[in-house]
Structure 1
Amino acid sequence: MIRCTRHTAAFSLLLLLALLAGAGRVQVVQSASYDDNPGNRRTQIARWSQPRGDIYIGDRKVTGSTDTRQDLRYERSYTAGDLYAPVTGHASQGYGATGLESAEDDLLSGADDRLAPFPFWHEITRSLRPPGDVHTTIDRDLQRIAYDRLAGRKGAVVALQPRTGRILALVSTPSYDPQQLSSNGRDTTAAWRRLTRDDDQPLLNRAIRQTYPPGSAFKVVTAAAALENGVVGDIDAPTRTPSPYRLTGSNTLLRNASGGCADASLRDAFAASCNTVFAKLGAEVGGEAMAATARAFGFNAGEDELRLPSPALPSVFATRQDAAQVSLSAIGQYETRATPLQMAEVAAAVANGGQRMRPYLVERVTDGDGDTVGVTRPEVAGSAMRPMTAQLLQQMMVDVVERGTGKRAAIKGAVVGGKTGTAQHGVENSAIPYAWFISWAKSGGAASAADVAVAVVVEDAEAHRADVSGGGSAAPIAREVMKAALD
């Protein structure tokens, strides 16, 4: 009898150990797969069981949470959602998250370890932590002015602080109200279908997630390459460029939209935006050196370099080209593509004496009690050019505004430098060109630091072709944004 009891006890112990092992396997080893299973609503219910942290523009929060008293209890809400959509993105119960809502999701949802003094205890108890808040670098006035000046046209505006890399404005139009996507009901489904099928692509963040041919705005990079590589030693010396200019190894003749480009100096060619001069300079610099200079400005960057923390699309300068293709790339055509963020970086690097700062969108993050748990420090991304080259480019960009194609960007009492761009695209350039303007401004004298750098691109599909130009469409928008920054 005692022997049978012992066997029964041993067998029961084995069964208990097997049950504990099975439970441990499910709760520890396989927990992640169960959490990620689309059929598991517990994860979603837990995720939306408390209000999310908020995103701040200055001292005002532009997000909130609404108690629906449903299974997915708290629904995201937005203030002036279409104005700040390129910054916040959306947090949707049915369609996931984008923008800062995605990049800072751990903090906003309470999952970030910085929000708990004892993170391991929260892992064991699976208890919810109070969420944190995100404080952005966006200037409320600049954001509103940039958005209003685009006036519903397709395009984007990015404003940076050159000496730090702080993003002061990030605008993309047409925009959308993220609150339309917050819930998971029929109205949300209908809104998602409408937005995703809209030919104007309101969900696309054109400021950081769309690349365009930069056109003549890229001539800033080409001028830097020519000066850095010794192709041009004196910006006032004739460049011996014919007009029209025959592309090397090709029968294609390149012409100019303005006169006075034959044998023009680099300074005059920059002010008049002479395609022939910059195409010739690009060929003389060579594809390898042009690509190296473009990379120094931020083109062809890796994924880790392009987080704000929202991910930005890389800008591209082709690394394998023949001489004719290099010439076209040097005037911002062929396969050269850039985001408005990238072109704002180009202007900022010139304004900052050649030093390129890494752009950032989050100033600091705080916990549920308002205590700071993370701060973004300005970071040098690299040297785009020597300080002397930057000084020469500053002079040439000021000439563009004072006597060249960018006169409509001038601000009384301020020093303004800029570069226009009209980028052709479409089959045989049949589409309406993109209008570019990149610029910087400072309220002090020549020796002072620039206060703001701006890039504007306007697609303007409804405009007459003759009305679309960087100086005509984009420069006035940049002027208003810069003026607000200086004020």
Structure 2
Amino acid sequence: MVVESGTYAKDPANRRIAIARYDRPRGGILVGARPVTGSRDTGGQLAYTRTYRDGPLYAPVTGFASQTYGTSLLEGTEDGLLAGTSPQLASVPLWSEITRDRQRPGDVHTTIDAAAQQAAYAGLAGRRGAVAALDPATGRILALVSSPSYDPGLLAGTGPEVAEQWRRLNDDPAQPMLDRAIRQTYPPGSTFKVVTAAAALESGAVTDLGAPTRSPDPYRLPGTTWSLTNEGRGCADASVLDAFRVSCNTVFAKLGADVGLAAMVRQAEAFGFNDTRLRIPPGVAKSNFDRTMSPDQVALSSIGQFDTTATPLQMAMVAAAVGNGGELMRPYLVDRVTNHGGAVVQHTRPQPLHRAVSQGTAARLRQLMEAVVSDGTGTNAAIPGAVVGGKTGTAQHGVGNKGTPYAWFISYARPLGSSRASVAVAVVVEDAEAARADISGGGSAAPIARAVMQAVLAAPPRP
């Protein structure tokens, strides 16, 4: 029995495993000091089923724990700790492995800031989209919201009602169970110009942000007869500073083509693109920047078009690296795990992920992003008493660019007198009302980012 215990435990015909799994309350997932999950005694053979407080608000964080359909997101990655089967909870881990003795479940303490999460959820107001917010100095994920959402409690138990809810949610064209913040990628549009500006500065292609760029308007893509234009005027030969502030596609497409494929790939990957191994601990979809492209494709990719795609978390990482002096910290969602007695059995320590850009380049990128908010397309993100940097964007997609536009805004904020940002945010709204211009990101997404940043800045300092 001891030797074959692992095989018996995995046998789907062994109903004792399921009965034992649900014979006690599951450990809690906490936001701050408040559990957002619980357990309810059903009186049945599978004694305890999962409950959720503010289920739709926290579903992109918790995921679901279902007696019928298994687990997802934190309920899945932390299942052993929440169910009490992890040897980390045992006083004698090796003996626990041999005997398969269950400990009392542990609790998972998230990094989420409740006020920031609520601000993001209220800002989206049911529209399709997502918000991701980070502490740039540590990588702590402060908000992770996907809309529309769902109540994980609908899937917790067994029986025909649960099966019907599963079918309904999976058939819903709005995809409420899709975690858009970490599992959906979008063309980032003009928010990607932060990456292009970084590549130009790091490579030496740009040394003076105020110098004319010799960029024609319209700009003919290299090797083609197709010309790129701008929504507004004043982009011909505009400086990088002015082109970034009012978001000139022609300037940044030419800049990306001049910098070249190798440098653009190197810079995108320094910010986290093309990473297939990122875990927070739930897996994050890969944000894409093609490694093989023709010059015209490089030009389009440099303004967030062609095959370039990003998760909202990825674009929050871009803003966070800029706000943190060029150092990109590894994002994480679990602060610590405690056992039933409250002792910490697992603690996440902040870790650098990449040096995205030099400190000097980061300072000049902050100059660009802060000009967007003070006197550009992102004035809706301004916060009195704080320094805010941002970048708007609208990404067209679909055949002939006729799909619903994606309105983007990425930003960071720091208190006056502070050298490092306290919060970085990315917002994407699948906005049918968005005008086909870069400014729409400022109108649809920037107010949401502002509300999230204000919530974080207003919070008391962490001990």
TM-score tier after normalising by the smaller chain length? over 0.9
- Give the corresponding residue for 1:331: 303
Rounded Cα–Cα distance in structure 1 between residues aligned with 2:356 and 2:203 = 13
**One-letter amino acid matched to 2:219:** Y
* Equivalent runs, 1:260-271 vs 2, <5 Å: 260-271=234-245
- Give the corresponding residue for 1:17: none
Residue of structure 2 aligned with 1:415, choices 364, 387, 404: 387
* Equivalent runs, 1:56-135 vs 2, <5 Å: 56-135=30-109
Residue of structure 2 aligned with 1:202, choices 165, 176, 179: 176
Residue of structure 1 aligned with 2:420, choices 423, 426, 449: 449
1:344 correspondence with 2:316: yes
Rounded Cα–Cα distance in structure 1 between residues aligned with 2:222 and 2:434 = 33
Give 1:460 shift: 2.4
Greater displacement, 157-166 / 118-127:
118-127
Give 1:325 shift: 0.2
Instruction: Give deviations 1:228-281, integer Å, cap 9, x for gaps.
Output: 001111110000000000000011100001111000000000001000000001
- Give the corresponding residue for 1:16: none
Rounded Cα–Cα distance in structure 2 between residues aligned with 1:464 and 1:209 = 23
Find runs of 4+ consecutive structure 1 residues off by over 6 angstroms. Answer: none
Give 1:119 shift: 2.2
Rounded Cα–Cα distance in structure 2 between residues aligned with 1:370 and 1:193 = 39
**One-letter amino acid matched to 2:395:** A
- Give the corresponding residue for 2:396: 424
Please tell me whether the aligned partners of residues 173 and 206 of structure 1 are also in contact (alpha carbons under 8 angstroms). yes
Please tell me whether the aligned partners of residues 432 and 465 of structure 1 are also in contact (alpha carbons under 8 angstroms). no
**One-letter amino acid matched to 1:444:** L
Provide TM-score, normalisation by structure 2.
0.97
Rounded Cα–Cα distance in structure 2 between residues aligned with 1:285 and 1:402 = 28
Rounded Cα–Cα distance in structure 1 between residues aligned with 2:391 and 2:97 = 54
Give 1:359 shift: 0.4
Rounded Cα–Cα distance in structure 1 between residues aligned with 2:221 and 2:13 = 61
- Give the corresponding residue for 1:401: 373
Please tell me whether the aligned partners of residues 22 and 47 of structure 2 are also in contact (alpha carbons under 8 angstroms). yes
Identity %: 60
What SS does structure 2 have at the residue aligned with 1:328? Answer: helix
Rounded Cα–Cα distance in structure 2 between residues aligned with 1:205 and 1:409 = 25
1:474 correspondence with 2:445: yes
Give 1:465 shift: 4.4
- Give the corresponding residue for 1:3: none
* Equivalent runs, 1:260-299 vs 2, <5 Å: 260-299=234-273
- Give the corresponding residue for 2:351: 379
- Give the corresponding residue for 1:390: 362
Give 1:140 shift: 0.6
What SS does structure 2 have at the residue aligned with 1:436? Answer: strand
Relative to structure 1, the CA distance from residue 125 to residue 36 in structure 2 (aligned partners, 3 Å threshold; closer, same or farther) is: closer
Structure with the bigger percentage of helix: 1
Rounded Cα–Cα distance in structure 2 between residues aligned with 1:313 and 1:389 = 28
1:215 correspondence with 2:189: yes
What SS does structure 1 have at the residue aligned with 2:445? Answer: helix
Residue of structure 2 aligned with 1:151, choices 104, 125, 138: 125
Rounded Cα–Cα distance in structure 1 between residues aligned with 2:421 and 2:231 = 31
Rounded Cα–Cα distance in structure 2 between residues aligned with 1:466 and 1:285 = 27
Give 1:464 shift: 5.8
Rounded Cα–Cα distance in structure 1 between residues aligned with 2:93 and 2:207 = 60
- What are structure 2's unaligned runs of at least 5 residues? 459-463
Residue of structure 2 aligned with 1:253, choices 227, 230, 246: 227
- Give the corresponding residue for 1:14: none
Please tell me whether the aligned partners of residues 405 and 434 of structure 2 are also in contact (alpha carbons under 8 angstroms). no
Instruction: Give deviations 1:179-210, integer Å, cap 9, x for gaps.
Output: 00000111110100000000000000000000
Instruction: Give deviations 1:326-374, integer Å, cap 9, x for gaps.
Output: 0000000000010000000000000001000000111110001111111
Q: Which has the larger radius of gyration?
A: 1
Rounded Cα–Cα distance in structure 2 between residues aligned with 1:464 and 1:276 = 21
Rounded Cα–Cα distance in structure 1 between residues aligned with 2:381 and 2:200 = 26
Rounded Cα–Cα distance in structure 2 between residues aligned with 1:69 and 1:28 = 34
Please tell me whether the aligned partners of residues 348 and 440 of structure 1 are also in contact (alpha carbons under 8 angstroms). yes
Instruction: Give deviations 1:51-75, integer Å, cap 9, x for gaps.
Output: 1100000010011111112111110
Please tell me whether the aligned partners of residues 434 and 469 of structure 1 are also in contact (alpha carbons under 8 angstroms). no
Residue of structure 1 aligned with 2:406, choices 434, 437, 450: 434
Rounded Cα–Cα distance in structure 2 between residues aligned with 1:465 and 1:327 = 23
Rounded Cα–Cα distance in structure 1 between residues aligned with 2:201 and 2:186 = 25
Instruction: Give deviations 1:373-427, integer Å, cap 9, x for gaps.
Output: 1111110111001101000000110100111110111111211100001001010
Instruction: Give deviations 1:433-458, integer Å, cap 9, x for gaps.
Output: 1000000011123x522111000000
- Give the corresponding residue for 2:461: none
Rounded Cα–Cα distance in structure 1 between residues aligned with 2:405 and 2:320 = 24
Residue of structure 2 aligned with 1:356, choices 328, 344, 352: 328
Relative to structure 1, the CA distance from residue 386 to residue 464 in structure 2 (aligned partners, 3 Å threshold; closer, same or farther) is: closer
**Alignment length (residue pairs):** 457
**One-letter amino acid matched to 1:161:** D
Please tell me whether the aligned partners of residues 396 and 404 of structure 2 are also in contact (alpha carbons under 8 angstroms). yes
